[in-house]
Copies of this chain bind each other. A is one copy, B any other.
Amino acid sequence: MEKRYLLAPGPTAIPPEVLLKMAEPIIHHRNPLFEEVLEEVRENLKYLFGSKNEVLIFASSGTGAMESAVTNTLSPGDKAICIRSGKFGERWANICKAYGVETINIDLPWGEELDVADVEKALKGNPDCKAVYMQATETSTGAMFPVKEVAGIVKNYPDTILVVDGITGIGVFELPQDEWHIDVLVGGSQKALMLPPGLSFAGVSDKAWEFNKKSKLPKFYFNWAKELTNLQKNQTNFTPAISLIIGLRESLKMIKAEGLENVYRRIDGLARATREGAKALGLKIFAKNPSPAVTAICAPEGIDGQAIYKTLWKKYGVTGAGGQDQLKGKIFRIATLGYADKYDVITAISALEFTLRDLGYKFEMGAGVAKAVDVLKDM
């Protein structure tokens, strides 16, 4: 017998009630039964995104919605600012490059904090930049970025929109789209929404819709305007990922029942316990400003981060994640977003203790879980 625990930063564990809903006989998308599903999903996505506007839904990975945020707002030869400090921040610049959009890159060492003054400076120096691209939280480093502060700057530039990759942030911490003036907020299904991968989302502000009208980059599958027209009739432009949208209805219902504020508080507590538990073992947290979504923990000197990740997974049943690209071997990651509770964190920290012991690291056995339990005791 081997019980398995999924604490990766996507895909995340799926609640059994969501899995079973998706296992019911499929229904046709051009019929009132599905339209009813979509109507409820539309309302609850607006609640999740904190927006009065429709949240567009695509059958794709999150990257598809990221691409849509570029091709539906810009034109060939446009300039944009990309804030890069990890694998996914770099993706914005890669998408821009593929579509002939010139980028001015604000490059931070991975894991560092963003100085918002750098964004203001870049905008002043390049007033013709049509967009600023950033992450809410960078999955590869476990770092948080100051979306509210950046949005507060960009909103004063009428010819520039702020596009935020919220794939690992939405439903994890506060990201109210309308209140903060986030022009495009991109999401994905396999994170806080507790679903399999295969759905992506784009929340679009009125300002971004104005950009859409003038945008000349080519698009067909990810065409916002056509998607919106259909969505307003409880339809999608192309055949939707029906089963995932049916699962989405359930997971949104669960999030709404718990209440977003409570979800944020729960995940924040779980991440805090993860960080404190790791620190009690003498480990360092990689990101200066750590995210509640995923905790990137530095491998102790002389121990390979990939060995930690693999031992956790293979021997102790806990699937976290290793480091990506330049961080491979240097960190390992434990996620706390989505369908996670305090026992998941205690499980993860105890598995980490077993793992570190196997790899020859010296520490006081039990110190990590003791600390985690202490942090979690009032949750």
Shortest C-beta distance, A38 to chain B (Å), equals: 14
Q: Is A146 an interface residue (CB 8 A)?
A: no
Shortest C-beta distance, A221 to chain B (Å), equals: 5
Q: Please, which residues of chain B bring their CB within 8 A of the CB of A321?
A: 28, 30
Q: Is A289 an interface residue (CB 8 A)?
A: no
Give the residue of B6, B30, B244 whose beta carbon is less than 8 angstroms from that of A28: B6
Shortest C-beta distance, A27 to chain B (Å), equals: 8
Whether B220 lies near A67 (C-beta < 8 A) is yes
Q: Is A19 an interface residue (CB 8 A)?
A: yes
Interface string of A164-195 (1 = CB under 8 A from B): 00000000000000000000000010100000
Whether A63 lies near B11 (C-beta < 8 A) is no
Q: Is A198 an interface residue (CB 8 A)?
A: yes
Q: Please, which residues of chain B bring their CB within 8 A of the CB of A238?
A: 61-64
Interface string of A215-236 (1 = CB under 8 A from B): 0011111110000000000000
Q: Is A105 an interface residue (CB 8 A)?
A: no
* Segment among A93-101, A107-115, A264-272 that sits at the interface with chain B: A93-101
Whether B20 lies near A23 (C-beta < 8 A) is yes
Whether A196 lies near B242 (C-beta < 8 A) is yes
Q: Is A197 an interface residue (CB 8 A)?
A: yes
Q: Is A59 an interface residue (CB 8 A)?
A: yes
Q: Is A31 an interface residue (CB 8 A)?
A: yes
Give the residue of B30, B219, B241, B242 whose beta carbon is less than 8 angstroms from that of A241: B241
Residue of B nearest to A217 (CB): B218
Distance between Cα atoms of A234 and B217 in the complex (Å) = 32
Interface string of A25-41 (1 = CB under 8 A from B): 11111110000000000
Whether B25 lies near A219 (C-beta < 8 A) is no
Interface string of A70-94 (1 = CB under 8 A from B): 0000000000000000000000001
